[in-house]
Structure 1
Amino acid sequence: MKVRIAEGATEEEASAIASALSRHVGDEVEVFVGDADEPAATWREPAGTLASDGTNATVGGADEDDLGPTEREERLWEEIEEIELGGPEKYKERLEEQGKLFVRDRLDLWFGDDGLKFEDGKFAEFDADDRLPADGLLTGAAEFEGRDVHFMANDFTVKAGSMASKGVEKFLRMQHRALQSGNPVLYLMDSSGGRIDQQTGFFANREGIGKYYYNHSMLSGRVPQICVLYGPCIAGAAYTPVFADFTVMVEEMSAMAIASPRMVQMVTGEDIDMQDLGGAGMHAEHSGSADLVARDEEHARQLVADLVTYLPDKAHEKPPRSEPSDPAKSPEGIDGVVPQNPNRAYDMTDLIERVVDAGSYFELQSEYGTEIITAFARIDGRPVGIVANQPAQRSGAIFPDAAEKAAEFIWKCDAFEIPLLYLTDTPGFMAGSQVEKDAILEKGKKMIYATSSATVPKQCVVVRKAYGAGIYAMSGPAYDPQSTIALPSGEIAIMGPEAAINAVYANKLNDIEDEEERKQREQELREEYREDIDVHRMASETVIDEIVPPSTLRDELEARFEFYADLDKDLPDKKHGTIL
């Protein structure tokens, strides 16, 4: 567009007119002064500017292909690069000595080149006098094994991964967004705890570090929360792993405790190192706080990659099914696995491997409460949670730690829509002064409560012994399983024959003076008792639904889980129970 203005106008006036008209018409404008042959000013509005007719103006005379990063953008890239280097190099060197990855290398391991979708809060503390890259805590979203997840990861090269106001804000925003999106959360923890010298502004505030655990509680049961520990997590930092649904620790690297060894010595006088105080071995075997223990960082990632295949991709969804496969061992051998002698030990995993899809058995807390197995597996490609007595450990009697472990596992399966399979072979809850001190009644109550309240499909298999309250905790007929089926080796009773005879007939037997006669009478009573508790009688009286040939157990469970895949099981109308 060409415009001619009166003689005497200055170049500044011509330029102003050209600029205004170009913005108005969305095209190049040339302004001529008087009779001049050459324009005094030429103007084309930059690309993306809307003309008065709503069209985009284009850059004055320039081809868009010629545009590139400006100095301003290049400066931003330099700032991003500086932030992504993390803390001082000397701290990175220490990571290498400890066999640990730098946090951004760790994210590459977890998510690969294309898996990291975006990061939030990279410029946290950028303008601070003591610049702390990302404030030592990274948050964002990524794709992990085909699933969208939120993540947080501490940068141990920045103030030992400690947490302060900006990092706390990022953590809280990530949790809040997970509540809204319904996607799982990964916590990649390597933190020394709260930054004590900066606690004002983040410790006790309404939106401070304490809100972490409030949000953990709100997320609990809505989306899976998975935590992997890469270093010593002390005090407040140690609560995230225990609030998570699943916690992975790394041998000789991870630790968590309410206080550091130095603080423990100051308070109690006890001299103890970090691994003995709260290392992976201690939490796997004694506290039960470690669900899985990894050999190294790569193994930790693989364990989580296997774990998530049993969990829903998103809140309110069911876990995905996989391609089915035959069991690793033939179901034909199931009856041979269960000894004829009801008191003889055997390994329950040998039976499980003849029921579940090959390669699908995934045990949690394998070193804690070992007389009960808690594991994920698949039957015909369908994820199930297995709660099984283990006769190879303590005869399968239920001790307090095992009861608590089972209760928590059942609760998680129910929260994430994972059907439950109970494999029952237990003499019941353990008796004795020590287990009473260890709260056998309280912890046994929690297991029975979890079983009672679970609304996912439940299948109970009486493999052999189902004595005492053990049949209650293991979802027997009174606990609303979709089926109670039994193998021909099954027995259901208040107690085993030996204990029952001693309780009921002790005096009468003691009155028999002849030893051979007494032994013969005792054997007769034992056989009579066994006939009374045998599953054939239980089936005859319809206490149980069916006795199945052991070689068909896999097919039986496959059909029952398929048929009962969708249920409408409602709990009584109340706010919540008070047991857990």
Structure 2
Amino acid sequence: MAISKTLSDELEKRRKIALDGGGAKKAEDRHAKGRMTARERLGGLFSEGTFQEFGLHAQHNTRYFGMADKSIPTDGVICGTGFVDGRPVAAFSQDFGVVGGSLGEIHAKKICAALDHAVKAGVPVVGFNDSGGARIQEGVGALSGYGQVFYRNVQLSGVVPQISVIAGPCAGGAAYSPALTDFLIMTRENAQMFICGPEVIRAVTGQVTTMEEIGSAQAHASVSGNIHFIAENDQHAVQIVHKLLSFLPSNNMMDPPHHIEPDLKIVDDPALDELVPADSKTPFDCREVIKSLADDGDFLEVMEHFAANIVIGFGRIGGMVVGFVSNQPTVKAGTLDIDASDKAARFVRFCNVYNIPIVTLVDVPGFLPGVAEERRGIIRHGAKMLFAYASATVPKITVIMRKAYGGAYLAMCSEDMGADRVMAWPTAEIAVMGAEGAVNILYRKELKEAEDKPAKAKELADEYRKEFATPYLSAGRLAIHDIIQPRETKSAIALSLRGLMSKRETRPPKKHGNIPL
């Protein structure tokens, strides 16, 4: 039986109301500020014509909550699935144009439905966060809704990748859902994320601050370390999502999207021989080494502005997706401190759960010394790196470029910590401590009696390096599997990765380890 015109017209009328969201005026206001609407963000994410929405007609009974029969199209959030570069992805986008994108019971149920679909289908989930917070009129129902979302964020963790885009306000409890996901992208100009705003902080503590200091993208990227990427605008945020997804598998049971050719064709790169200074005290930008190793120099750095003394990110070597972890000698001499340890450990654990091989580039003089670091718990935080590497079962390849001293040598994935292949350049120095410090301990008497102490100290330091820090000593004890020329590095890593594609490694049965948080 044909659908009557009355029923058809009613459907189209309701569809139009839902699709219009907050109306044309609010959309124009957003465009005037350089912002996209909630639907436009999803339109930019998904390939044209592939978005399939669910919950279009869902909204709470506003009369029950005393909102004077106010219409809340889609209950302020748009949910569904679509395809990104040919791969299915689930997503939700909060609509600030509809009651400020506030979260109520139905709003939360829609987000939960998107998360439930993602875990059932084994697909990544992307969330665009742009909300005024909990819907006050719904009281505990709104708070319960947040709890249900948080619970699912945790259940999805390590099963499917979760990416959050902070594209507007994200305040109070609402900030914890993005914090539970794998990657946070935040727009520079139009987004804020905080637990307590400047007014609350001033009222409670008397401290005077600004939103720029506590809730801006720059503050979160460089000071708190809460986000991974800064986007210049909504369009740029979507581009980062696309780039990030291009390196990630859809779920934890799949391999990442490798681009493997049957024949591995990699030639030596003579430029690498000149890139890293032989003098271990002369700094260099490790990103240049990473880009020389990554196919076509394509490297997506993660958390670029936080703990810059260590560099992490994604690339491909010989077509295989890898996670890079490298000391950065231009910042704090490449030492490991609390923030660098946290940054690297979480990245290693992410790579492990999503089957991404890890390439570690080492030039580390040690853990950062100092009273502040000791009192803040450098032991506990540094142990996170040891725990992350030791528990990782993906292929792990380590290249020691120059210094690798003390506990930091172990923390940067030595052979003892489970590295499958450890290679060193001829410039490598592996020792309990640096030559100068060792000389002061081992040759105190000789230095005290020397007429020219600086000259004697240099002579003894050079002797120490030859006697105790040479890579050949470590290679003789199988702590290093091979010593290679820098120019051979990419081909050596690529061959090792191919040989480790079928790696299988088990751990003792347990619920999970107890990482030193």
Say whether 1:446 aligns with 2:381.
Answer: no
Code of the residue aligned with 1:491 in structure 2: it is E
Shift of 1:388: 0.4
C-alpha distance in 2 between matches for 1:234 and 1:124: 23
Q: Counterpart of 1:461?
A: 399
Deviations 1:243-262 (A, max 9, x none): 11011011111221112333
Say whether 1:188 aligns with 2:128.
Answer: yes
Q: Counterpart of 2:282?
A: 344
Find the residue that maps to 2:8 and give its secondary structure.
helix
C-alpha distance in 2 between matches for 1:465 and 1:315: 35
Q: Counterpart of 1:416?
A: 354
Shift of 1:274: 2.3
Say whether 1:529 aligns with 2:464.
Answer: yes
Assess if the C-alpha contact under 8 Å between 2:185 and 2:228 holds in 1.
Answer: yes
Shift of 1:88: 4.8
Find the residue that maps to 1:302 and give its secondary structure.
helix
Assess if the C-alpha contact under 8 Å between 1:150 and 1:174 holds in 2.
Answer: yes
Shift of 1:449: 0.6
| Farther off after superposition, 352-361 or 112-121 | 112-121
Find 1:331's aligned residue among 269, 281, 295: 269
Q: Counterpart of 1:376?
A: 314
Q: Counterpart of 1:85?
A: 20
Q: Counterpart of 1:260?
A: 197
Deviations 1:342-377 (A, max 9, x none): 111111112222211014211000111101000101
Find 2:59's aligned residue among 124, 145, 166: 124
Assess if the C-alpha contact under 8 Å between 1:83 and 1:123 holds in 2.
Answer: no
Q: Counterpart of 1:198?
A: 138
Assess if the C-alpha contact under 8 Å between 2:336 and 2:368 holds in 1.
Answer: yes
Deviations 1:239-289 (A, max 9, x none): 122111011011111221112333223322333332322110001101111
C-alpha distance in 1 between matches for 2:292 and 2:247: 19
C-alpha distance in 2 between matches for 1:384 and 1:478: 21
Q: Counterpart of 2:242?
A: 305
What is the RMSD computed on CA atoms of the aligned residues? 2.1
Q: Counterpart of 1:283?
A: 220
C-alpha distance in 1 between matches for 2:297 and 2:455: 49
CA gap of 1:504–1:178, structure 2 versus 1, over 3 A, is same
Shift of 1:177: 2.2
CA gap of 1:103–1:329, structure 2 versus 1, over 3 A, is farther
C-alpha distance in 2 between matches for 1:275 and 1:354: 37
Assess if the C-alpha contact under 8 Å between 2:53 and 2:78 holds in 1.
Answer: no
C-alpha distance in 1 between matches for 2:85 and 2:204: 45
Shift of 1:411: 0.6
**Greater RCO (CA < 8 Å, at least 6 residues apart):** 2
Deviations 1:510-557 (A, max 9, x none): 2x1x522x4444333212210121102222332211101221111100
CA gap of 1:267–1:95, structure 2 versus 1, over 3 A, is farther
Code of the residue aligned with 2:92 in structure 1: it is M
**Percent identity between the aligned chains?**
32
Deviations 1:146-173 (A, max 9, x none): 2111111101011111101110111122
Assess if the C-alpha contact under 8 Å between 2:414 and 2:479 holds in 1.
Answer: no
Find the residue that maps to 1:424 and give its secondary structure.
strand
Q: Counterpart of 1:574?
A: 510
C-alpha distance in 2 between matches for 1:416 and 1:542: 29
Q: Counterpart of 2:482?
A: 546
Deviations 1:18-61 (A, max 9, x none): xxxxxxxxxxxxxxxxxxxxxxxxxxxx5xxxxxxxxxxxxxxx
Assess if the C-alpha contact under 8 Å between 2:268 and 2:491 holds in 1.
Answer: no
Say whether 1:295 aligns with 2:249.
Answer: no
Matches within 5 A, 1:220-239: 220-239=157-176
C-alpha distance in 2 between matches for 1:297 and 1:400: 32
C-alpha distance in 2 between matches for 1:551 and 1:236: 51
Assess if the C-alpha contact under 8 Å between 1:189 and 1:230 holds in 2.
Answer: yes
| Farther off after superposition, 377-386 or 535-544 | 535-544
Assess if the C-alpha contact under 8 Å between 2:268 and 2:488 holds in 1.
Answer: no
Deviations 1:208-250 (A, max 9, x none): 3212111111100100000111112001211122111011011
Unpaired segments ≥5 residues, structure 1:
1-45, 47-66
Say whether 1:179 aligns with 2:119.
Answer: yes
Say whether 1:269 aligns with 2:200.
Answer: no
Q: Counterpart of 1:27?
A: none
Say whether 1:248 aligns with 2:185.
Answer: yes
Q: Counterpart of 1:555?
A: 491
| Farther off after superposition, 569-578 or 378-387 | 569-578
C-alpha distance in 1 between matches for 2:252 and 2:121: 8
Find the residue that maps to 2:44 and give its secondary structure.
helix
Unpaired segments ≥5 residues, structure 2:
64-68
CA gap of 1:347–1:123, structure 2 versus 1, over 3 A, is same
Shift of 1:299: 1.0
CA gap of 1:414–1:201, structure 2 versus 1, over 3 A, is same
Q: TM-score, normalised by structure 1?
A: 0.84
C-alpha distance in 2 between matches for 1:409 and 1:155: 31
Find 2:74's aligned residue among 126, 134, 155: 134
Matches within 5 A, 1:23-38: none
C-alpha distance in 2 between matches for 1:524 and 1:327: 45
C-alpha distance in 2 between matches for 1:399 and 1:326: 38
C-alpha distance in 2 between matches for 1:315 and 1:415: 6
Shift of 1:445: 0.8
Find 2:328's aligned residue among 387, 390, 394: 390
Shift of 1:459: 0.3
Q: Which has the larger radius of gyration?
A: 1
Shift of 1:399: 1.2
Count of aligned pairs between the two proteins: 509
C-alpha distance in 1 between matches for 2:247 and 2:147: 31
C-alpha distance in 1 between matches for 2:293 and 2:19: 49
Deviations 1:308-342 (A, max 9, x none): 11100234101011267999997211121121211
C-alpha distance in 1 between matches for 2:210 and 2:327: 35
Q: Counterpart of 1:365?
A: 303
